[in-house]
């Protein structure tokens, strides 16, 4: 059964390639991590919460991450092995997710490096920085692997030790992001985020490691698909919105605001601002305007304080929203 599924996957890959929907299929070597086997309905048996694969007399000893939905029947089982040598079982079932009860709460989210998330309420969620915690251990195992002879069994063992460190870092990061994203989706009906160009930001060699450790793109992906599951709304405002440099009280726009300045006072109204919280308030205001007008938020081209009250918002079609 798994061999037949490999041929079906290869056929689908070539169909997608000749249809110009994908690149040329790559050879999957058994020496590379990510080996997997897929079993269809005739290749396994599911009974009373236990799983038997084809040609196995005893059920698999599985530590379940969560139970299957009540009344669901598995249609496909995939057994895979990661780079650290751990085996995983993924079961595909048909299930429906009920939407959460609606509410009127909305939140703006400003992402950062030291403070991963800042909310308009003043709450700040600190970035745990899982890669930084294991950076010394990771460097040690990678240097040990580099000293081994290429193609030897010792080098393979050293690579598995390095993969286990990488896996621990990825697991901690994924667990934290799941908890944060689930909390935001459950508590708020509307979540407003920035459309950040992460691919361009990581080109800065001074901040690339810290930005990659924060995993902003993964957080946005989790918020979007969980919002679709539970009937929530995620709004991404324009990346050029000057949320940090704009006073959330009077709309005064600063010319510059260095990165090391974490708190500043508006020269127009005298309001003291926390840099991240002020940005979250402006992002939330822009998201509400986007929801009302139906278009993206863009920064104003006028920098005069007497002409600027809020970032200008352009509506769709012939309908415009005034600042």
Q: Residue 323: what pLDDT? A: 38
Number of domains in the chain: 1
Task: Tell me the residue range of the domain where 87 lies.
Answer: 2-92
Structure token pair of residue 180: 């944060």
Which candidate in 38, 131, 194, 238 is catalytic?
Answer: 194
Query: Can you give the three-state secondary structure of 228-279, one letter per residue?
Result: HHHCCEEEEECCCCCCCCECCCCCCECCCCCCCCCEEECCCCCCEEEHHHHH
The model's confidence at residue 294, banded by pLDDT at 50, 70 and 90, is low
Q: Residue 311: what pLDDT? A: 41
Q: Is 309's pLDDT higher than 50?
A: no
What is d(CA 116, CA 214) in angstroms, rounded to the nearest whole number?
Answer: 7
Q: Does the residue 145 lie in any domain? A: no
Give the pLDDT confidence of 79-136 residue by residue, as tens digits.
Answer: 998 888 899 999 999 888 889 998 889 999 999 888 899 999 999 999 999 998 899 9
Q: Does the residue 194 lie in any domain? A: no
Q: Residue 296: what pLDDT? A: 53
Q: Does the residue 276 lie in any domain? A: no
Q: Say which range, 74-78, 133-137, 178-182, 305-309, has the weakest mean pLDDT.
A: 305-309
What percent of the chain is modeled with pLDDT above 90?
A: 45
Structure token pair of residue 6: 């490999």
Q: Does the residue 123 lie in any domain? A: no
Q: Does the residue 225 lie in any domain? A: no
Q: Is 297's pLDDT higher than 80?
A: no
Question: Does residue 134 have an active-site annotation?
Answer: no
Give the pLDDT confidence of 166-184 residue by residue, as tens digits.
Answer: 999 999 999 999 999 999 9
DSSP secondary structure code for residue 189 in this structure: S
Which candidate in 110, 131, 213, 238 is catalytic?
Answer: 110
Q: Does the residue 40 lie in any domain? A: yes
pTM here is 0.80
The model's confidence at residue 21, banded by pLDDT at 50, 70 and 90, is very high
| Structural contact between residues 32 and 41, judged by C-beta atoms closer than 8 angstroms | no
Q: Residue 312: what pLDDT? A: 40
The model's confidence at residue 225, banded by pLDDT at 50, 70 and 90, is very high
Which candidate in 38, 131, 213, 276 is catalytic?
Answer: 276
Q: What is the mean pLDDT of residues 223-228?
A: 94
Q: Does the residue 30 lie in any domain? A: yes
Residue 91 three-state SS: strand
The model's confidence at residue 295, banded by pLDDT at 50, 70 and 90, is low
Question: Does residue 175 have an active-site annotation?
Answer: no
Q: Where are the alpha helices (DSSP H) in 55-152?
A: 130-133, 135-147
What is d(CA 277, CA 264) in angstroms, rounded to the nearest whole number?
Answer: 11
The model's confidence at residue 32, banded by pLDDT at 50, 70 and 90, is confident
Residue 133 three-state SS: helix
Q: Does the residue 266 lie in any domain? A: no
Q: Say which range, 132-141, 222-231, 270-279, 298-307, has the weakest mean pLDDT.
A: 298-307
| Structural contact between residues 180 and 219, judged by C-beta atoms closer than 8 angstroms | yes
Q: Residue 120: what pLDDT? A: 92
Q: Is 12's pLDDT higher than 90?
A: yes
Question: Does residue 213 have an active-site annotation?
Answer: no
Q: Is 167 left (phi over 0), alpha (psi -120 to 50) or beta?
A: alpha
Q: Residue 204: what pLDDT? A: 85
């Amino acid at each position: 059964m798994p061999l037949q599924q490999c041929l079906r996957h290869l056929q689908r890959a070539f169909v997608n390639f000749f249809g110009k929907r994908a690149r040329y299929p790559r050879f999957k070597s058994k020496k590379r991590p990510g080996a997997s086997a897929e079993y269809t309905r005739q290749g396994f048996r599911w009974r009373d919460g236990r799983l038997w694969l084809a040609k196995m007399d005893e059920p698999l000893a599985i530590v379940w991450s969560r139970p299957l939905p009540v009344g669901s029947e598995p249609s496909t089982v995939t057994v895979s092995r990661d780079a650290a040598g751990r085996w995983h079982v993924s079961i595909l079932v048909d299930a429906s997710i009920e939407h959460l009860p609606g509410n009127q709460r909305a939140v703006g989210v400003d992402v950062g490096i030291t403070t991963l998330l800042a909310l308009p309420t003043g709450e700040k969620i600190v970035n745990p920085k899982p890669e930084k915690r294991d950076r010394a251990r990771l460097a040690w195992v990678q240097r040990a692997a580099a000293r081994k002879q290429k193609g030897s069994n010792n080098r393979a063992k050293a690579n598995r030790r390095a993969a286990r460190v990488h896996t621990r870092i990825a697991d901690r990061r994924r667990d934290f992001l799941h908890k944060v994203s689930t909390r935001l989706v459950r508590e708020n009906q509307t979540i407003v985020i920035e459309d950040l160009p992460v691919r361009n930001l990581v080109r800065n060699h001074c901040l690339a490691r810290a930005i990659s450790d924060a995993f902003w793109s993964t957080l946005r992906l989790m918020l979007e698909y969980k919002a679709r599951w539970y009937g929530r709304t995620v709004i991404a405002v324009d990346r050029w919105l000057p949320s940090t440099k704009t006073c959330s009280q009077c709309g005064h726009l600063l010319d510059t605001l260095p990165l090391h300045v974490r708190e500043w006072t508006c020269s127009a109204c005298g309001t003291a601002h926390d840099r991240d919280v002020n940005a979250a308030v402006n992002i939330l205001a822009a998201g509400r305007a986007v929801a009302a007008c139906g278009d993206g938020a863009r920064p104003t081209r006028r920098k005069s304080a007497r002409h600027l009250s809020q970032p200008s918002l352009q509506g769709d079609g012939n309908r415009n929203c005034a600042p």
